Amino acid sequence: MACRAALAAWKSSSRVRYRWPSSAAPVCRVHALVAYVSPAMGERWSQPQFVPNKRWWGSAEICTSTRVEQQDHRESIAPLKRHSLLEPGQVSPRLEVPLHIPRPPYVGSIKPPPYDEQVQIQDLAGIAGMRAAGELAARVLKFAGTLVKPGVTTDEIDKAVHQTIIDAGAYPSPLGYGSFPKSVATSVNECICHGIPDSRPLQDGDIVNVDVTVYLNGYHGDTSETFICGTVDSDVKQFVEVTRDCLNTAIAICGPGVYFREIGNIINDIADIHNYNVVEQFVGHGVGSIFHSAPSILHYRNYKPGRMVVGQTFTIEPMLTMGSIQPVRWDDQWTVVTKDGSLSAQFEHTVLITKNGAEVLTHSISIEVEE
């Protein structure tokens, strides 16, 4: 009931303040103690720990090396043969960005920048910069969504997004982040995240997450949405909408003094109700003048300390699956798919903590589309 009450605060404006209603009773949870294992060290511990793993850093999410030792006992609810499994397509050459457009500092390096422990708290100038970057990212994402149609390749979406971003005088943040070769990430069907746009045409019944980040006047705006291509089964549509609800409900509880772990707790609660699973290896992050920084936002139940403070900007970007949460990384070192081929969906916003709650900096806006 508390989740439903919080969602009532969700309105069309990007500057709505989200707070729990004063009449809402606190949620009481009992968390089972789970054994965890570090793949790198082979060590076990009785309580979850968070360890950044640089090998998995990507254009949108930081990855933890923490993973559950044993797969969730629940069976996958996804018929794994509902769609053909993805195969790598042809990747076109990297697109150029005009020299007059400022680049993020990491462009030109073959390695992603080290994880920055700095918590980004914005002053008035920073808030203005983040609002501008977030508004542009939202506009670009909405435009990208209009391109999701059967027969359109993800490479074509990348080219259109790239042109829109540079026409606005901004830089596409994923391009040149380490070895990432494209301006947007497109994750189709069983792809969890960091899909590289290629020659594969979208098919009727696909779902595709488009992850847009722009670098405008020194600030990054980061957002993503899972779009439906053509017609999908009702259970797939529900899966996508529940993932969206996970993001919206998590934003609704944000505000000064709130523990970051409550984000993961409430997302996991919603996923459990529908028998979906929450990806643990990829998390949200601080964002601002630095693309990826502290705090790391875990989307699953956790014991991580830390509270939100006024002026913080960070992403919330839950990834749910209809089956396994075990990631398999392709040889391109970026594309990550579910081990069992089950569908994965994700939604993401950049948020600012205000004295009254949270402001969504990448809220969806209406655009006119020429036929």
CATH code for position 224? 3.90.230.10
SS3 state of residue 230: coil
Provide the pLDDT for residue 61.
54
Give a yes or no: residue 369 inside a domain.
no
Provide the pLDDT for residue 309.
98
Is the model's pTM score more than 0.75?
Answer: yes
* Beta carbons of 327 and 281 less than 8 angstroms apart: yes
Q: Which residues pair with 280 in a beta bridge?
A: none
Give a yes or no: residue 365 inside a domain.
no
Q: How many CB atoms lie within 10 A of CB 31?
A: 11
Q: Is 211 annotated as a binding residue?
A: yes
Q: What angle do CA 238, 341, 146 make, to 5 degrees?
A: 50
Q: Which residues pair with 67 in a beta bridge?
A: 37
Please choose, from the candidates 275, 272, 260, 284, the residue with its C-alpha nearest in 3D space to the C-alpha of residue 346: 284
Query: What tokens does 256 get?
Result: 């000064």
* Beta carbons of 291 and 137 less than 8 angstroms apart: no
Query: What tokens does 209 get?
Result: 């997450």
The per-residue pLDDT for range 66-112, each reduced to its tens digit, is 342 233 433 444 444 467 899 999 999 999 999 999 999 999 998 99
The pair phi, psi for residue 35, each rounded to 5°, is -80, 135
Q: Is 363 annotated as a binding residue?
A: no
Instruction: Spell 129-146 as b/e; 16+ CB within 10 A means b.
Output: bbbbbbbbbbbbbbbbbe
Give a yes or no: residue 92 inside a domain.
yes
Q: Is 194 annotated as a binding residue?
A: yes
Give a yes or no: residue 273 inside a domain.
yes
* Beta carbons of 350 and 287 less than 8 angstroms apart: yes
Provide the pLDDT for residue 83.
74
Q: Is 135 annotated as a binding residue?
A: no
Domain extent at residue 195: 2-360
* Beta carbons of 197 and 154 less than 8 angstroms apart: yes
Give a yes or no: residue 370 inside a domain.
no
The per-residue pLDDT for range 21-39, each reduced to its tens digit, is 333 333 333 233 222 222 3
- What residues contact residue 349 under an 8 Å CB cut-off, 6+ apart? 223, 247, 251, 315, 316, 317, 360, 361, 362, 363
Provide the pLDDT for residue 82.
60
Query: What tokens does 4 get?
Result: 């439903």
Query: What tokens does 22 get?
Result: 């004063």
Low-confidence ranges of the chain (pLDDT < 50): 1-60, 64-81, 366-371
Q: Is 162 annotated as a binding residue?
A: no
Provide the pLDDT for residue 63.
54
Give a yes or no: residue 312 inside a domain.
yes
For residue 226, CA distances in Å to 7, 40, 69, 208, 253 come to 20, 32, 29, 5, 22
On the CB side of 239, CA atoms within 13 Å amount to 29
* E strands in the chain: 36-37, 44-45, 62-63, 67-68, 171-172, 185-188, 191-193, 207-216, 219-228, 277-278, 282-286, 293-297, 313-316, 319-321, 327-329, 336-338, 344-346, 349-354, 357-360
What's the total number of domains in the chain? 1
Give the whole-angstrom CA distance, residue 346 versus residue 33.
Answer: 27
Give the whole-angstrom CA distance, residue 7 versus residue 253.
Answer: 9
SS3 state of residue 320: strand
Q: Is 285 annotated as a binding residue?
A: yes
Residue type, position 43, single letter: E
- What residues contact residue 205 under an 8 Å CB cut-off, 6+ apart? 82, 83, 229, 230, 231, 232, 233, 236
Give a yes or no: residue 20 inside a domain.
yes
Q: Is 198 annotated as a binding residue?
A: no
Q: Which residues pair with 186 in a beta bridge?
A: 210
Give a yes or no: residue 11 inside a domain.
yes
SS3 state of residue 129: helix
Give the whole-angstrom CA distance, residue 165 versus residue 174.
Answer: 12
* Beta carbons of 338 and 239 less than 8 angstroms apart: no
